[in-house]
């Protein structure tokens, strides 16, 4: 039987982490090992993890390198221990007990599988998406395949909220790019995987993100990294050599992203002082895009 390792990356969300771990341990298809990467938590997570018992649980402590750095570390550790499949997830998700079992039903046609994501108010996240590398934008297909009674659909993006990936693919594409810190690292990883396998989204494999659907608004940090990290996405292997016309289009869409976030802040933030602080951070993201800044925002 193939060996499966689950990698969980956590940062200061102890109560959610406990629920995430328990859900993984309750799988109908048992996990062979869990690797937990603690990104420098300060909320008691380290003390809790130090008391976890079992040969099948490994804890890695490191400074806060963001989700990208955490998944780079965890996936590398699992790969070097020669696991056949590696299941990646943030600490704020909870998988249904048969999630892994249902994902593996399609392992003969895909080496990079994703579960169907729901919010805690049972609203389905519309993750059937397609990434256009020449504009640097993702287009939603609104889960049309599932609405048309398909059990699986193919995409060219990735999500570290439940991605199950074969070591065969990791061997070809390497580990997640930790320069992202957050935002875009999993999209790039799924895009790279799509060069070698049918990256898939499975209807009957359920995962819950611990947020309500109406709470899914972009944070200031996410907006900063969404703009800044576009220079990393622009240089994804296989699309880095853009000609003049496609490069112009990419720059245009980067500017549109910047303006879109500016408008969002102007409309949504009522406090004048906070509004200018937020606009300053968004502008910093746009500037850092041109200067090709990587890692954690300084």
pLDDT tens string 143-154: 999 999 999 999
pLDDT of residue 29: 98
pLDDT band for position 245 (cuts 50, 70, 90): low
Does 3.90.550.60 match the CATH number of domain 4-215? Answer: yes
Q: How far apart are CA 233 and CA 240, in angstroms?
A: 9
Spatial CB neighbours of 194, under 8 Å, sequence gap ≥ 6:
112, 155, 156, 157
**Residue 111 near residue 197, CB atoms below 8 Å:** yes
Helix, strand, coil share (%) of the chain residues, nearest 5: 40, 20, 40
Q: How far apart are CA 166 and CA 255, in angstroms?
A: 36
- Give the containing element (helix H, strand E) for 37: strand 33-38
Predicted model pTM: 0.96
pLDDT tens string 250-274: 999 999 999 999 999 999 999 999 9
- What percent of the chain stands above pLDDT 70? 97
**All structural domains of the chain with their residue ranges:** 4-215, 220-290
pLDDT of residue 238: 61
């Amino acid at each position: 039987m193939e060996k499966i390792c689950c990698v969980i990356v956590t940062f200061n969300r102890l109560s959610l982490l406990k629920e995430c771990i328990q859900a993984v341990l309750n799988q109908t298809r048992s996990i062979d090992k869990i690797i937990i990467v603690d990104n420098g938590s300060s909320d008691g997570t380290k003390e809790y993890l130090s008391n976890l018992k079992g040969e099948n649980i490994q804890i890695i402590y490191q400074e806060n390198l963001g989700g990208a750095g955490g998944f780079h570390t965890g996936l590398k550790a699992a790969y070097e221990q020669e696991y056949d499949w590696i299941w990646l997830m943030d600490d704020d998700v909870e998988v249904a007990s048969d999630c892994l079992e249902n994902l593996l039903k399609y392992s003969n046609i895909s080496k990079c599988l994703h579960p169907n994501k729901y919010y805690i108010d049972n609203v389905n996240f519309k993750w059937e998406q397609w990434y256009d590398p020449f504009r640097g934008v993702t287009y939603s297909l609104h889960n049309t395949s599932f609405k048309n009674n398909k059990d699986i659909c193919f995409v060219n993006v990735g999500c570290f909220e439940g991605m199950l990936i074969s070591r065969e693919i990791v061997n070809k594409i390497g580990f997640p790019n930790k320069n992202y810190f957050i935002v875009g690292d999993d999209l790039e990883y799924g895009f790279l995987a799509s060069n070698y396998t049918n990256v898939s989204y499975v209807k009957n494999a359920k995962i819950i993100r611990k947020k309500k659907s109406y709470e899914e608004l972009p944070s200031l940090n996410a907006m900063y990294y969404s703009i800044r990290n576009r220079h990393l996405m622009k240089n994804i292997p296989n699309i880095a050599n853009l000609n003049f016309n496609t490069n112009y289009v990419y720059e245009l869409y980067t500017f549109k992203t910047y303006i879109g976030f500016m408008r969002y802040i102007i409309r949504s933030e009522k406090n004048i002082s906070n509004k200018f602080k937020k606009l300053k951070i968004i502008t910093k993201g746009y500037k850092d895009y041109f200067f090709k800044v990587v890692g954690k925002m300084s």
